[in-house]
Amino acid sequence: MDPLKPLGVTVLSLDVTDHASMRAAVGRVLAERGRIEVLVSTGNGGGAGAHQQGRDTHTA
């Protein structure tokens, strides 16, 4: 993922089954960037699939 850093991409590892881990990751990005423009999850092993767009109902 290092080639993405010059493009302004923040890559984080987190445990999606751990709410504290998710809150910490979201909080870090919001503190550093002020917003989250795109979120990509490769929790299924990196495969591609359909994604839904909707309102964010989770707050850090």
pLDDT tens digits for range 18-48:
999 999 999 999 999 999 888 887 766 544 4
Whether residue 44 is contained in a domain is answered as no
Which long-range contacts does 32-41 make (Cβ < 8 Å, 24+ apart)?
Answer: 41/16
C-alpha 13/C-alpha 29 separation (Å) is 12
pLDDT of the residue at 59: 54
Whether residue 41 is contained in a domain is answered as no
Tally of domains in the chain: 1
Whether residue 29 is contained in a domain is answered as yes
Tell me the whole-structure pTM to 2 decimals.
0.58
Domain range holding 14?
2-33
Whether residue 50 is contained in a domain is answered as no
Whether residue 13 is contained in a domain is answered as yes
pLDDT of the residue at 45: 55
Higher-confidence residue: 50 or 2?
A: 2
C-alpha 50/C-alpha 55 separation (Å) is 17
Report how far apart, in Å, the C-alpha atoms of 7 and of each of 11, 45, 56 are.
11, 23, 24
Higher-confidence residue: 1 or 39?
A: 39
